[in-house]
């Protein structure tokens, strides 16, 4: 097992399959709150669901309304189990806090090299550690 | 970021989950924007007070926080709702939106917010003074608070304003700090401005150029009115994302050039001319024919003086058949209009004062569909900016006189 240090943002532990996007994700208009499906046209993850995934993307984008939509997706049981971002942005950070989704940012190593789609990953938001199995 | 013992305890969850979440939001925003500490705010103006913005999720969050015992630490006013609570059925706002709105407003009220539902809280008693730290949402109100009143606020979104109301603090960054409040762009106003509408046009032109920088206007007389400054700020925050502007010799942080620019040189000089004004008005007019279905004044919400002006112009007259007219205002301002006899005159002409909401934040799409509106006339650059894209309406932009004339004739002339 390999452990990567990261800055903790939201506590708790989430474990699941990695879903990796090199592109930013916009939750306002980009994700269906009822299915967890990415709906943004032309997005590399278009048509795939974030449900129960450890969602890994560089940074969020879009308006503050996006925070509420993360919350709604999670309330509907369609949210990710954890989020890893390279850089913190207000929308995703706020969304994960109100939805209680474990979240870390600024990983100490290049997660895009080390983690591939479908790998089992655990995010420990209390310790600020990403564990790869 | 350095936190006090009290703030640390909230962050650790010692005051429960609601306050922990609120403090987490503010702490993380502080980390993102490089704040060194938290500062107390004395009041909050809450955006996301309409279900059109907050949606089901925002409503659920507010309800849950109220249920878990959240109480606002500071005085809090609410931005416009999805419709007028008294006349929504008659006007045609959507029932499902209003039912959800009752829940959202109820949740906020339970935590202590005043449900004035207005974008002009400064006309209904929320008037922070110079140097006072506050947490406000609503772009036009933010511009007014920072610029005209000299209070200090960042551009708060729904969740951050909610968090600030709960803990009574915000991270100290952005417009809370002296160094970010200085002027950046100097704008020489080189044409005569006659009335509020002209100020909206100036703001729309300037906002488009300066974007998020801080403009300083030179050449605006000291006699400029509250309504003129209100429309100037609203327009600046529509075509750009201006949160703070200064008017030399008028607004509290701009006594002279040296002070307002903090001893530095402006990064840009602009000249506002008659040609720029004409070009801006042309840009905001997006219509094919001349038929006007709806006339809307009061974006931002009308003052008692503006309502009086409209009442006078409508006195003894009737609106054209198939043309409606809304004067949007806060409920306490309408109450004053009732006492002045303005409401009676306005209603006798077939127009109405609409409270608690506005076209931009209300469930306007439902009204437009139900009443078959195809065009809108307004004296607000902000509303003219949003109207074509939001509801696909032919849009007429002109002075309040021209708008009232259109309401009476049904045509733009």
**Whether residue B98 sits in one domain with residue B211:** no
Q: Which two tokens stand for residue B45?
A: 């103006």
Tell me what pLDDT residue A64 has: 67
Q: What pLDDT does A41 receive?
A: 85
Query: What confidence tens digit (pLDDT) does each residue in B192-248 have?
Result: 999 999 999 999 999 999 999 999 999 999 999 999 999 999 999 999 989 999 999
**Residue numbers of the domain that contains B348:** 285-409
pLDDT score recorded for residue B17: 95
User: What number does CATH give the domain A2-132?
Assistant: 3.50.30.10
Q: Quickly list H helices, B3-157.
A: 5-11, 17-33, 51-67, 88-91, 95-110, 139-143
Q: What percent of the residues of chain A are helix, what percent strand, and what percent coil, each to the nearest 5?
A: 20, 35, 50
Nearest CB among B29, B32, B158 relative to A68 is that of B158
Question: Looking at the structure, do residues B168 and B202 belong to the same domain, yes or no?
Answer: no
CATH code: domain of residue B303: 3.30.499.10
Q: Which helix (H) or strand (E) holds A3?
A: strand A2-5
State pLDDT tens for residues B34-48. 999 999 999 999 999
Residue spans per domain, chain A: 2-132
pLDDT at site A66: 83
Q: Which pLDDT score, from 0 to 100, does residue B228 have?
A: 98
Domain end, chosen from B282, B301, B330, is at B282
Q: Is A113 exposed, middle or buried (0-12, 13-18, 19+ CB in 10 A)?
A: exposed
Query: Do B90 and B329 meet the contact criterion of CB atoms below 8 Å apart?
Result: no
Domain count, chain B: 3
Residues B168 and B297 in one domain: no
Catalytic center residues of A:
63
Q: HEC states along B171-218?
A: ECCHHHCHHHCCCCEEEEECCCCCCHHHHHHHHHHHHHHHCCCCEEEE
B179-191 b/e (C-beta count within 10 Å ≥ 16 → b) = eebbbbbbbebeb
Contact A72 B60 (CB under 8 A): yes
List the single residue in B with minimal CA-CA distance to A76: B57
Considering only CA atoms, which of B165, B139, B177 is closest in space to residue B42? Answer: B165
Q: Residue B364 and residue A14: Cα distance in Å, rounded?
A: 41
Q: What is the reported pLDDT for A125?
A: 96
Name the residue in chain B with its Cα closest to that of A33.
B57
At A81 the pLDDT is 98
The domain boundary, picked from B150, B178, B206, lies at B178
**For chain B, which residues lie within 8 Å of any Cβ of chain A, measuring from their own Cβ?**
21, 24-25, 28-29, 31-32, 48, 53-58, 60-61, 157-160
Residue of A70, A55, A60, A63 whose CA lies nearest to A103: A55
- Tell me: pLDDT of A28 over 80: no
Do B172 and B200 belong together in one domain? Answer: no
Put simply, the chain A residues between 85 and 124 with a CB less than 8 A from any chain B CB are 88-90, 93-94, 97-98
| Mean pLDDT computed over A34-59 | 93
A34 at B interface, C-beta within 8 A: no
Per-residue pLDDT reduced to its tens digit, A66-105: 888 899 999 999 999 999 999 998 889 999 999 999 999 9
Whether B32 and B61 share a structural domain = yes
Chain A residues close to B160, C-beta within 8 Å: 64, 90, 94
Instruction: Quote the tokens at residue B206.
Output: 């300037």
The helix or strand, by DSSP H or E, that contains position A67, with its residue range, turns out to be helix A65-75
Does A59 contact B at CB distance below 8 Å?
A: no
**Residue B156: its pLDDT value, please?**
92
DSSP for B314-372 reads HTT--PPTT-EEEEEE-HHHHHHHHHHTHHHHHHHTT-EEEESB-TTTS-HHHHHHHHT
Q: Are residues B155 and B94 in the same domain?
A: yes
Residues of B in contact with A98 (CB under 8 A): 21, 25, 61, 159
- Looking from the CA of B313 toward its CB, the CA atoms found within 13 Å total 20
Spans of chain B, pLDDT less than 70: none
Are B223 and B116 in the same domain?
no
Contacts of B161 in chain A (CB under 8 A): none
Reading the block at residue B314, the tokens are 């409508």
Q: What is the DSSP string of A82-102?
A: EEEESS--HHHHHHHHHHT--
Do residues B124 and B244 share a domain? no
Residue finishing a domain among B253, B282, B311: B282
Contacts of B158 in chain A (CB under 8 A): 64-65, 67-68
Interacting residues of B222 by C-beta distance below 8 A, sequence separation 6+: B249, B250
DSSP code, position B147: I
Same domain, B194 and B322: no
């Amino acid at each position: 097992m390999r452990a990567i240090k990261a800055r903790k943002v939201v506590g708790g532990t989430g474990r699941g399959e990695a879903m990796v996007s090199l592109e930013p994700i916009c939750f306002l208009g980009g994700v269906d709150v009822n299915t967890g499906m990415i709906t943004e046209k032309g997005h590399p993850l278009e048509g795939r669901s974030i449900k129960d995934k450890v969602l890994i993307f560089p940074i969020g984008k879009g308006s503050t309304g996006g925070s509420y939509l993360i919350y709604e997706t999670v309330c509907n049981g369609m949210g990710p189990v954890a989020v890893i971002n390279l850089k913190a942005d207000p929308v995703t950070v706020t969304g994960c806090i109100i939805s209680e989704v474990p979240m870390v940012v600024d990983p100490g190593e290049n997660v895009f090299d080390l983690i591939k789609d479908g790998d089992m990953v655990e995010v420990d938001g209390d310790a600020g550690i990403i564990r790869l199995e | 970021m350095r936190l006090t013992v009290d703030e640390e305890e909230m962050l650790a969850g010692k005051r429960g989950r609601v306050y922990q979440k609120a403090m987490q939001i503010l702490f993380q925003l502080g980390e993102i924007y490089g704040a060194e500490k938290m500062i107390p705010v004395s009041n909050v103006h809450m955006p996301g007070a309409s279900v059109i913005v907050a949606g089901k999720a925002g409503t659920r969050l507010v309800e849950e926080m109220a249920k878990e015992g959240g109480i606002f630490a500071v005085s809090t006013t609410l931005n416009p709702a999805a419709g007028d609570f008294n006349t929504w059925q008659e006007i045609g706002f959507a029932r499902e939106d209003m039912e959800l709105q009752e829940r959202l407003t109820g949740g906020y009220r339970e935590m202590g917010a005043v449900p004035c539902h207005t974008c002009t809280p400064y006309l209904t008693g929320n008037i922070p003074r110079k140097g006072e730290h506050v947490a406000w949402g609503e772009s036009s109100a933010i511009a007014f608070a920072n610029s005209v009143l000299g209070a200090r606020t960042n551009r708060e979104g729904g969740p951050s304003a909610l968090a600030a109301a709960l803990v009574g603090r915000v991270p100290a960054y952005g417009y809370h700090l002296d160094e970010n409040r200085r002027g950046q762009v100097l704008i020489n106003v080189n044409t005569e401005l006659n009335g509020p509408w002209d100020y909206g046009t100036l703001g729309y032109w300037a906002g488009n150029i300066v974007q998020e920088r801080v403009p300083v206007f030179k050449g605006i007389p000291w006699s400029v009115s509250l309504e003129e400054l209100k429309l100037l700020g609203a327009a600046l925050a529509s075509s750009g994302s201006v949160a703070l502007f200064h008017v030399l010799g008028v607004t509290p942080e701009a006594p002279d050039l040296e002070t307002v620019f903090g001893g530095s040189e402006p990064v840009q000089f602009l000249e506002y001319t008659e040609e720029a004004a004409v070009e801006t008005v042309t840009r905001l007019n997006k219509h094919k024919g001349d038929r006007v279905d709806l006339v809307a004044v009061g974006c931002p919400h009308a003052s008692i003086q503006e309502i009086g002006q409209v009442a006078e112009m409508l006195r003894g007259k009737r609106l054209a058949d198939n043309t409606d007219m809304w004067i949007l205002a806060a409920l306490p301002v309408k109450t004053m209009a009732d006492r002045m006899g303005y409401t009676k005159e306005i209603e006798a002409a077939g127009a109405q004062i609409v409270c608690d909401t506005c076209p931009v934040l209300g469930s306007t799409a439902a009204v437009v569909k139900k009443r078959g509106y195809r065009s809108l006339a307004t004296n607000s650059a902000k509303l003219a900016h949003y109207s074509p894209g939001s509801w696909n309406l032919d849009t007429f932009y002109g002075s309040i006189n021209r708008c009232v004339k259109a309401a009476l004739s049904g045509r733009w002339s």
